[in-house]
Amino acid sequence: MTWDASRETAERLDRDDGLARFRDEFYIPEGSIYLDGNSLGLMSRRAEKSLMEVVSAWKEYGIDGWTSGEFPWFDLSEKLGEQNAPLVGAEPGEVIVTGSTTLNLHQLLGTFYRPEGKRTRILADELAFPSDIYAMQSQLRLHGLNPEEHLIRVASRDGRTLEEEDLIAQMTDEVAVIVLPSVLYKSGQLLDMKRLTEAARARGIPIGFDLCHSVGAIPHRLHKWGVDFAFWCNYKYLNSGPGGVGGLFVHRNHFGRMPGLAGWFSSDKSIQFDMEHRLTPAGDAGAFQIGTPHILSLAPLIGSLEIFVEAGIDRIREKSLKQTRYLMDLVEKEMPGMNFSFGNPVEDHRRGGHVCLVHEEAVRISKSLKEKGVVPDFRAPDVIRLAPVALYTSYTEVWEAVRILKEIMETKDYERHEKKRGVVA
């Protein structure tokens, strides 16, 4: 797909957009073009409504809110797991909404990482999100193992992307478990999860994926591919709010397995209040919960997931690819010779939901963009991440953002700023 660089073309694309109506569902910050939904999604009116309904239930029912009202709290994590499941290609019972990204990774490693004999190593990559690496290092230390020796971080050839061949080559008989991202958080590269899972299964190694930068932006087929486990946050593309409760997937092949980190809500719910000191875990992914659900942080996801059911993840992916392609085309046409390059793969089948613009002045350019109403995301040392979100970003906004970026570069407006990032990038 190619387009001319006129505003009229952007407006025509908006008129023809079958998802445009969902933009009105969201609170768009006044006077801004929000391109940071891959870090924190915007609030929808439905998320606000469901949050206030749960708050009202607490007010009206008190402790009886666990079993009363429109959204009883006791099985809310399970019900939201059912709604979340189609977005990751899971079967009933394979998804639970619980914990946080890193807590869920600790739970899954505590369950699936079983070092024995020469199989002691965890396979990851050098471009992984730091929190995932911290969790893996912690789990190794808990087993009395040195992370420097037992954590494999597969190298990137170009510093931005990974080659599946390199990952597969490291799947040796010394590897006990594999944890990889679905989409690389910085460059936006989408890994071939199906291929990697097939390679891991052929070698008898359990494999899991961090879906934080793909869930809600691309379709997944976790059950069909045979992925053993996955984990994610819900506050990026799924718009559940800051610190929103995370999610995890466990393939039904592992149902009945004792959770590595057991807790109150790991229990079979029908006998949870028998108060036995011997845990009978739930027979599905519910077993991998630990503590009491954070109900007020679950609540916005009720409304948010309704929108995804209506919009459909395949249509969201189609628009996301079209918008990121449009953004890249505009940058190429409007700013030749301005030293921008793309850190993300340009092929549709290898690109996630955001564009990774690389420039040596990225930190100062990001400051200028934000001053002028475009909300980007900076990642050190030289990356500007721009994420048009299919549910609320218009093509005209993408066009306007590129126009502002071009103006910043032509006037060298960024030179007014200190070349230093803020505490929160």
DSSP run (H or E) holding 247 = strand 247-250
**Residues 36, 210, 284, 413: which is the catalytic one?**
210
Cα separation, 120 vs 155, whole angstroms? 20
* 285 contacts 91 by C-beta, under 8 angstroms: no
DSSP string of 362-384, one letter each residue: HHHHHHHHHHTTEE-EEETTTEE
Was 266 annotated as part of a binding site? no
* 268 contacts 278 by C-beta, under 8 angstroms: no
326 is catalytic: no
Spatial strand order of the sheet with 341-342 comes to: 341-342, 355-358, 383-386, 377-379
236 is catalytic: yes
Was 411 annotated as part of a binding site? no
158 is catalytic: no
Question: Which whole-number Å values give the CA distances from 148 to 151, 152, 326, in the listed order?
Answer: 6, 8, 43
**Residues 317, 367, 379, 385: which is the catalytic one?**
385
**Residues 61, 129, 134, 255: which is the catalytic one?**
129
Structure tokens at 408: 């910043």
- How far from chain centre, in Å, is Cα 323? 18
Asked if the peptide bond before residue 388 counts as cis, ω within 30 degrees of 0, the response is no
Was 98 annotated as part of a binding site? no
**Residues 209, 235, 308, 342: which is the catalytic one?**
235
* 220 contacts 88 by C-beta, under 8 angstroms: yes
Was 34 annotated as part of a binding site? no
Was 264 annotated as part of a binding site? yes
Q: Are strands 247-250 and 229-232 parallel, antiparallel or unpaired?
A: antiparallel
Question: Which whole-number Å values give the CA distances from 128 to 43, 137, 148, 189, in the listed order?
Answer: 28, 13, 16, 12
Was 235 annotated as part of a binding site? yes
Was 240 annotated as part of a binding site? no
DSSP string of 251-312, one letter each residue: -GGGTTPPPSS--GGGB-GGGGGG--SS--B-SSGGGG--S---HHHHHHHHHHHHHHHHH-
265 is catalytic: no
Was 206 annotated as part of a binding site? no
DSSP state of 22: G
74 is catalytic: no
DSSP E strands in 57-146: the ranges are 95-97, 121-125
Which of these, 46, 49, 50, 73, lies nearest to 61 by C-alpha position? 73
Which of these, 179, 57, 164, lies nearest to 113 by C-alpha position? 179
Structure tokens at 61: 């029912």
Burial 5-29 (b: 16+ CB within 10 A, else e): eeeebbeebbeebebbebbebbebe
Cα separation, 88 vs 102, whole angstroms? 19
Which of these, 183, 155, 189, lies nearest to 170 by C-alpha position? 155
**Residues 46, 236, 319, 364: which is the catalytic one?**
236
Instruction: Please state the residue numbers annotated as binding site.
Output: 101-102, 129-132, 210, 213, 235, 264, 292
Active-site residues, by number, are 129, 210, 235-236, 385
- Binding-site residues for pyridoxal 5'-phosphate sit at 101-102, 129-132, 210, 213, 235, 264, 292
